[in-house]
């Protein structure tokens, strides 16, 4: 019985020792990279929007069509715009100076009447003054004549002021109604949606008979044969990304094939929701056929070393120690890292045997 117990204990001890994973550092190539995901986009790719609301009366393009800058893409119903222009023209005609000459003539007549009364009151007050100087009449009669002249003078000045106000108001009204015609006439062009540049129609989102609004895209257009990559990089890694860095990428549409690109631009504004930055990259040699919005996964190469002392990352503890064969925990200095390996700059040699830390 004792022999059986000792045998089992020995087997258990041997099993524990043999279950421990161990390795030696290796000298090999290591590449440090940053992971990114993204989509393929046509260069200058943009969504087509209408600037006004309206029912789509005509769709002039199909998916795959080539278009030039200024080509019509959609035509919306412009009945409301036509009515607005007509109403504005009616208002402009009604508000013109020529249509309101009667108001100006009426104001002129008021001036003439006020002037005539003022002149008559002026002659009466002069006559009353002569009589008063001859001792004829009363002081009250003279005062009344002078008051009447003063009132008529004020009425004459007020009549001239009213004429200027009427003239000014009519000029302003004429300008406003004329400008309204220009504004409504200019909006009629908004009911024909046109291409902003030469390119290809990759998607027609809205159909004839559907409602177009400024909030919903009508189509997707981009350059015909030029594509770019729009990659998302985590904010943790963005400081290590620079224009000109090499990008290795794969796409589901081209399985078992890898492609190369180059970082072209780093958009400085971070997406606050995803905590990521957008990176633009260009293909070195693009695939033979591409379409907008194809998905891709990429590794942006940060650094490459052809001959480095490496160990598996799983053999390195969180505080960057390794466990040697004699169970010693030794601090090491690390360099480049990829998903599987880590470069060791100092602390161990190629001949050291290290054990995988217990999980």
pLDDT at 53 over 60: yes
- Report the pLDDT averaged over residues 51-58: 88
- Shared domain for 232 and 349, answered yes or no, is yes
Check whether residue 150 and residue 232 sit in a common domain.
no
Rounded CA separation 84/96 (Å): 18
Residue 1 pLDDT grade (very low, low, confident, very high; cuts 50, 70, 90): very low
Same domain? 30 vs 64: no
Are 86 and 57 in the same domain?
A: no
Domain assignment present for 180: yes
Check: CB of residue 65 under 8 Å from CB of residue 224: no
CA torsion 276-280-285-291 (nearest 10°) is 80
Using CA atoms in the order 271, 272, 274, 276, what is the torsion angle rounded to 10 degrees?
50
Q: Are 112 and 219 in contact (CB under 8 A)?
A: no
DSSP structure class, residue 189: G
Query: Do 238 and 346 sit in the same domain of this protein?
Result: yes
327 φ/ψ sector (left φ>0, alpha ψ -120 to 50, else beta): left
Residue 6 lies in a domain: no
State whether residue 359 is helix, strand or coil.
Answer: coil
Q: How far is CA 9 from CA 12, 16, 19, 99, in A?
A: 5, 11, 15, 117
CATH number of domain containing 286? 2.40.30.170
Nearest-angstrom CA–CA distance, 233 and 274: 10
Residues whose CB is less than 8 angstroms from the CB of residue 82 and which lie 6 or more positions away in sequence, other chains included = 188
Shared-domain flag, residues 112 and 56: no
Q: Which domain holds residue 86?
A: 82-188
* Shared-domain flag, residues 235 and 357: yes
Give tens-digit pLDDT for 319-352.
899 999 888 999 999 988 887 899 999 999 999 9
| Residue 4 forms part of a structural domain | no
Q: Is residue 24 part of a domain?
A: yes
Is 3 inside any structural domain?
no
CA dist 348 to 242, 297, 329, Å? Answer: 33, 35, 11
What percentage of the chain exceeds 70 in pLDDT?
A: 86
Q: Distance between CA 249 and CA 284 in Å, rounded?
A: 11
Residues 241 and 350 in one domain: yes
Residue 38 pLDDT grade (very low, low, confident, very high; cuts 50, 70, 90): very high
Spatial distance between the Cα atoms of 308 and 240, rounded to a whole number of angstroms: 21
Structure tokens at 254: 């081209």
Residue 153, SS3 per DSSP: helix
Query: Do 307 and 250 share a domain, yes or no?
Result: yes
Q: What is the per-residue pLDDT for 279?
A: 95
Can you spell out the DSSP letters for 295-353? EEEEEEEEEEEEEEEEEEGGGS-TTSEEEETTS-EEE-EEEEE-SSEEEEEES--TT--
> How many domains, the chain?
3
**CA distance linking residue 159 with residue 155, whole number of Å:** 6
Whether 121 has a pLDDT exceeding 60, the answer reads: yes
pLDDT digits (tens, 9 = 90+) for 65-77: 999 999 999 998 8
Which position has the token pair 């009425």? 155
Q: How far apart are CA 305 and CA 246, in angstroms?
A: 15
- My answer on whether 234 and 347 are in the same domain is yes
Q: 247 and 359: one domain?
A: yes
DSSP E strand boundaries for 142-222? 192-194, 199-204, 211-212, 219-222
- CA-based Rg of the chain, rounded to a whole angstrom? 45
pLDDT of 176 > 80? The answer is: no
What tokens does 322 get?
A: 């390794």
Residue 8 lies in a domain: no
Q: Predicted confidence band at 81 (pLDDT cuts at 50, 70, 90)?
A: low
Is residue 175 in some structural domain? yes
pLDDT confidence of residue 239 = 93
DSSP 8-state class, residue 55: E
The answer to whether residues 171 and 182 belong to one domain is: yes
Cα distance from N-terminal residue to C-terminal residue, the chain: 35
- pLDDT more than 90, % of the chain: 52
Q: What is the pLDDT of residue 188?
A: 59
Return the bridge partners of 67, or none. 199
Which segments of 140-288 are extended strands (E)? 192-194, 199-204, 211-212, 219-222, 227-234, 246-251, 254-266, 276-283
- Residues facing 300 on adjacent strands: 34, 247
What digits encode the pLDDT tens for the residues 265-309? 999 999 999 999 999 999 999 898 888 889 999 999 999 999 999
Q: Is residue 15 part of a domain?
A: no
Name the token pair of 28. 């090999």
Write down the pTM of the prediction. 0.56
């Amino acid at each position: 019985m004792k022999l059986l117990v000792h045998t089992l204990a020995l087997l258990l001890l041997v099993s524990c020792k043999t279950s421990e994973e161990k390795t030696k550092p290796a000298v090999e190539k290591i590449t440090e990279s940053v992971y990114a995901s993204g989509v393929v986009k046509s260069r200058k790719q943009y969504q087509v929007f209408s600037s006004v609301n309206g029912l789509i009366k005509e769709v002039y393009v199909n998916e795959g069509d080539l278009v030039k800058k200024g080509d019509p893409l959609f035509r919306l119903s412009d009945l409301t715009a036509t009515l607005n222009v007509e109403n504005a023209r009616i208002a402009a005609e009604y508000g013109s100076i020529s249509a309101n000459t009667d108001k100006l003539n009426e104001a002129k007549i008021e001036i003439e009447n006020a002037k005539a009364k003022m002149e008559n009151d002026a002659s009466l007050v002069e006559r009353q003054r002569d009589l008063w100087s001859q001792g004829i009449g009363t002081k009250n009669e003279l005062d009344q004549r002078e008051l009447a002249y003063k009132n008529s003078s004020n009425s004459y000045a007020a009549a001239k002021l009213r004429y200027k106000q009427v003239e000014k108001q009519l000029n302003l009204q004429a300008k406003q109604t004329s400008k309204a015609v220009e504004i409504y006439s200019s909006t009629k062009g908004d009911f024909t949606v046109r291409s902003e540049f030469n390119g290809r129609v990759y998607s027609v989102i809205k159909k004839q008979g559907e409602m177009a609004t400024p909030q919903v895209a009508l189509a997707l257009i981009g350059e015909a044969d030029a594509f770019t990559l729009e990659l998302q990089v985590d904010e943790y890694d963005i400081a290590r990304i620079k224009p000109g860095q090499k990008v290795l990428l794969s796409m589901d549409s081209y399985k078992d094939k890898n492609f190369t690109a180059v970082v072209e631009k780093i958009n400085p504004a971070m997406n606050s929701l995803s905590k990521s930055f957008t990176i633009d990259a260009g293909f070195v040699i693009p695939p033979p056929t591409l379409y907008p919005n194809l998905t891709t996964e990429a590794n942006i190469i940060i650094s490459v070393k052809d001959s480095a002392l490496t160990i598996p990352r799983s053999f390195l503890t969180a505080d960057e120690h390794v466990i040697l064969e004699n169970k010693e925990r030794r601090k090491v200095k690390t360099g480049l890292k990829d998903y599987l390996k880590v470069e060791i700059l100092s602390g161990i040699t190629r001949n050291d045997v290290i054990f995988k830390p217990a999980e």
